[in-house]
Amino acid sequence: MNNQGDFLQRLYRMRIIGLEAYRNNVWKILCTEYFSRFISKKAHVLDLGAGWCEFINNVNAEKKYAMDLNPETGSRLEGDAQFLHQDCSQDWNIRSESLDVVFTSNFFEHLPDKPSIERAVSEAYRCLKSDGAIICVGPNVKYAPGAYWDFWDHHIPLTETSLAEVLELRGFNVQVRIARFLPFSMSTGVTPPLFLLQLYLRMPFFWQFIGKQFLVIGRK
């Protein structure tokens, strides 16, 4: 795990250095303007593949967890959030039926194989309370077929349909399945003005033309 952790630390720094403030502001908007509708202020939330913690630091929730193999993730957490430094395909160090939300963004495609995704989804199901939600955002290979493979650590091609299917196979009831949600901009270093993101989130009609990332939400 140390070698993998060192690799992830170098990778994150290579891709994020210089964009930290912008990325944090993007996630602040995403949390307040969109994801807050699915996450109550009293929720217990796990950020799966938390990276540099932009989501978990900005979401308004009572109890927060961040899981990642990168050892640097823990130092990026704010407040009293708990860092789980582990492989997500192994048993999670979280009580069964103790979480309200598992959130993951641009993560599942980085896992080494499909069984790893299946095990992570199964652990999410175990740890979620009845009616708890798993919220998944990620690049849709149908709409970013070339750019998808520009990242060395992308292993699994995913679409909104394939991810919804594995959630259903592991017991979730898929309630939201949006093929085109967010653009692919930050992944490629593009930093459009933040007010455009606010406008974009309020006008779903335009998602079908610009969106290259899916949004899938399943309920236990």
Does residue 112 surpass a pLDDT of 80? Answer: yes
- The mean pLDDT value of the chain amounts to 91
Residues 169-205: tens digit of each pLDDT: 999 999 999 999 999 865 556 788 999 999 999 999 9
> How far, in Å, CA of 210 to CA of 213, rounded?
9
What structural domains does the chain harbor? 2-219 (3.40.50.150)
Closest listed residue to residue 127, CA positions, set 90, 102, 98: 98
Q: Which residues 6+ apart lie within 8 Å of 6 measured at CB? A: none
pLDDT of residue 145: 87
Q: Edge-to-edge strands of the sheet including 99-105?
A: 82-84, 63-67, 44-48, 99-105, 128-139, 213-219, 173-178
pLDDT, tens digit, for every residue of 154-175? 899 999 999 999 999 999 999 9
Q: Which tens digits make up the pLDDT trace of 2-49?
A: 566 566 555 565 555 657 788 899 999 999 999 999 999 999 999 999
